Structure formats: structure tokens, C-alpha cells
Amino acid sequence: MNEGGILLIDKAEGWTSHDAVAKSRRALGTRKVGHAGTLDPMATGLLVLGSGPATRLLTHLVGLDKTYTTTIRLGASTVTDDREGDRIAAADPAAIAELLADAAAGGERIAAAVAALTGDIEQAPSAVSAIKVDGRRAYDRVRAGETVELKRRPVTIRAFEIGAPRPAVEPDGTRVIDLDATVRCSTGTYIRALARDLGEALGVGGHLVALRRTEVGPFSVADAISTEALSAGRTGPLLAPAAVARALFPELRLTAQEAVDLGHGKRFEVAPERAADAPLVAAIAPDGSLVGLIEIARGRTRVVTNFPTPDGGLA
């Protein structure tokens, strides 16, 4: 039985998430490949893909926390909130000098602005995003010359750690400040918007000049294959669906009969000493394969996500 699997890719700059999916389809020899969250072409780092039946896991991976390393440029704003967009404003050199002087004295202004953007906050996504406005992508409206203001939405910045601010210079000689940061955040957070909001809070504007995703939930870019290897048709071993499910959810070890019953959609009782009530539990067959993701409520099972079973049934 082919369960498919989860593939971790270290996306290179310039690649789209669609490029990674297309190359994975060729390397894996299957059309059934999906991803658990995209990355902009400018960004590098971890993409989580699924192939075959394991694509059914992806919906449960999209909501995982993400970790990024980034470089924020203070002192200039762009239409896209990153270095790929046209600059729309630059700070007064005196404001940059004052901010550098504050940084040299301990950086209280920047630290306070970072603290205000940490925790549960409301964030307006970047106007150049894939969010639809009246049926059209926001980035299409911006490219058509329209002004787009997206509604603020709640996100959680679990950690926003910064390095020492350092002077930098834009290609045209404009003096700015670069700030390296590590951000751990809830799904749906726009790091470009975080850079924009930090710059606005400091009165100098800001945008991203580098962005790398290093973690998605328990998955690390250190375990990912390169896009160079993917282009050459190499993928390495896939993460087994059962291993992924066990890393994310409580586990219920099934008997052989329970695996068959669950594979045919039957419910059964689970004693509390075997597994506690939980919205998602990994139901594992005696051979170690993933039979399904189930809910256990008041000691009774309910299938949430189907997976193929050895006898041809579906959980």
C-alpha cells in the first residue's frame, strides 16, 4: 500500500511554491502533490509538501506555528513592504541618525516598538498579497493602480528577537538601518507587514530585505532537501504519514480488528487508560501505519480524516 509521504524542501530564492510542487511531481512520479503553505519568490526556506494519500494530512499542517529569520530595513518604505517593490518613502537622514544614536545608547526605542508588536496583536496584511477583495486578488488590484487597504486581523507573535541595529545604504545612497530578527508566529502572520509596522512605529518606515522560514511546527529546514536536488530528480526518503501524525497528535494504538473497523468507518469505545478525549488523535495500526485521524469524545471514536487501509477500506 502506497501511503505517500511528507516532503520537506528548502526553497531557493526566485522559486515559487508552484515551481516546487511541479518539480516534486516529476521527481516523485505522481500528480498528487500539495503544500501546507506558500512562500513568496523572494523568501527562502522550508516548504512542507505532501504526496499521494499523505496530502490528506496537509490540512492539519497549515495551522502550525512558523519560525522565520529576517532582515528588516528601517528608513524606507516600499509598495510591497519588501525589497522587490518600488520605494514610496524614505526617512529624513536626521531621523535615521537619531535612531542610530538611540541604538548605540541601548536601543530603547527599537526595543519598545518590538515589544509592542509581540504577543496577540492585530495586523493588516500587506496590500500585495493573495487575499481576495471583491473577488480579485489584492496584488492584482495594486498592480492595476488601485489603492488597497486590507482589514486588520488577529495574529500572535510568540517571539520577536532582534540583533544589533547596523547602518546600511540603499543602492541610491539613502542611509538606512538594517535589523536582523527571528520571529516565531501563528499561521497567517505577514512578516512583511511586521517590518512595515515596526518602521511606522519608529516614524521612519520599513520593509523586508531578506526572509527565510526555518520551522513549521516540529519540522525544520535543517532536515529539508535543496531545490537543486529536487531539480535533479532527487527527493530522499519521505516522512511517513504515521510518523508525522505521531509528532503532532496523541497516539492510539489499534488492535487488528479495530484497524479494520476504523477502516470501514465504524465507531468504537476507547477506555480512558488507552487514550484521553482529544479533537485529533493518530490512530495507528499494529503494523505501524496510519489508519486515520480521529476524534475521541466521551470515550468514543469518530473519523476526522480518511486514509487508505490494507484491506482497501477508508478510515
CATH code of the domain containing 163: 3.30.2350.10
Kindly state whether residues 180 and 60 are assigned to the same domain.
no
Kindly state whether residues 195 and 77 are assigned to the same domain.
yes
Instruction: Provide the pLDDT for residue 129.
Output: 59
Kindly state whether residues 39 and 163 are assigned to the same domain.
no
Kindly state whether residues 153 and 130 are assigned to the same domain.
yes
314 falls within a domain: no
CB 103 within 8 A of CB 112: no
Query: What is the rounded distance in angstroms from the CA atom of residue 42 to the CA atom of residue 54?
Result: 28
Q: Which range has the worst mean pLDDT, 144-153, 179-188, 224-233?
A: 144-153
296 falls within a domain: yes
State the cell numbers at 104: 548605540
pTM of the model: 0.90
**146 pLDDT higher than 70:** no
**37 pLDDT higher than 90:** no
**53 pLDDT higher than 70:** yes
Neighbours of 129 (CB within 10 A): 20
pLDDT band, residue 142 (cuts 50/70/90): low
pLDDT band, residue 137 (cuts 50/70/90): low
Closest CA to 159 of 240, 251, 66, 226: 66
| 60 compared with 129, residue with greater pLDDT | 60
315 falls within a domain: no
Kindly state whether residues 74 and 205 are assigned to the same domain.
yes
Query: What is the rounded distance in angstroms from the CA atom of residue 229 to the CA atom of residue 22?
Result: 14
Cα separations in angstroms, 200 against 9, 76, 193, 205: 34, 10, 10, 5
Give the rounded distance of the alpha carbon of 111 from its chain centre.
Answer: 25
19 is catalytic: no
| 55 compared with 138, residue with greater pLDDT | 55
Region 155-169: what's the mean pLDDT? 96
| Amino acid, res. 140 | D
| 48 compared with 309, residue with greater pLDDT | 48
Kindly state whether residues 104 and 171 are assigned to the same domain.
yes
Kindly state whether residues 160 and 299 are assigned to the same domain.
no
Instruction: Provide the pLDDT for residue 67.
Output: 98
**141 pLDDT higher than 60:** no
Average pLDDT, whole number, for the chain?
90
222 falls within a domain: yes
Instruction: Provide the pLDDT for residue 312.
Output: 43
Q: Which domain holds residue 14?
A: 5-64+218-231
Kindly state whether residues 25 and 139 are assigned to the same domain.
no
Kindly state whether residues 169 and 245 are assigned to the same domain.
no
Catalytic residue among 40, 82, 178, 197: 40
Neighbours of 257 (CB within 10 A): 10
Region 154-183: what's the mean pLDDT? 96
Task: Name the domain boundary from 216, 251, 271.
Answer: 216
Region 40-52: what's the mean pLDDT? 94
DSSP sequence for the chain: ----EEEEEEEPTT--HHHHHHHHHHHHT-S-EEESS---TT-EEEEEEEEGGGGGGGGGTTTS-EEEEEEEEETEEETTSBTTSPEEEE--HHHHHHHHHHHHTT-HHHHHHHHHTSEEEEEPPPSSSS-EETTEEHHHHHHTT----PPPEEEEEEEEEE---EEEE-TTS-EEEEEEEEEEE-TT--HHHHHHHHHHHTTS-EEEEEEEEEEETTEEGGGPEEHHHHHTT---PPBPHHHHHHHHS-EEEPPHHHHHHHHTT---B--TTT---EEEEEEE-TTS-EEEEEEEETTEEEEEEE-B-TTS-B-
**228 pLDDT higher than 50:** yes
312 falls within a domain: no
311 falls within a domain: no
Query: How many structural domains compose the chain?
Result: 3
Q: How many residues does the chain have?
A: 315
Region 114-119: what's the mean pLDDT? 98
Q: Which range has the worst mean pLDDT, 69-83, 116-130, 237-251?
A: 116-130
| Amino acid, res. 144 | A
**β-pairing verdict for 206-216 and 44-51:** parallel
Specify the CATH number for the domain of residue 24: 3.30.70
pLDDT digits (tens, 9 = 90+) for 235-288: 888 999 999 999 999 999 999 999 999 988 899 999 999 999 999 999 999 999
236 falls within a domain: no
Kindly state whether residues 26 and 141 are assigned to the same domain.
no
Kindly state whether residues 88 and 195 are assigned to the same domain.
yes
Angle among Cα 113, 174, 125 to the nearest 5 degrees reads 45
**313 pLDDT higher than 50:** no
Q: What percent of the chain shows pLDDT beyond 70?
A: 90
Instruction: Provide the pLDDT for residue 263.
Output: 86
Kindly state whether residues 210 and 225 are assigned to the same domain.
no
264 falls within a domain: yes
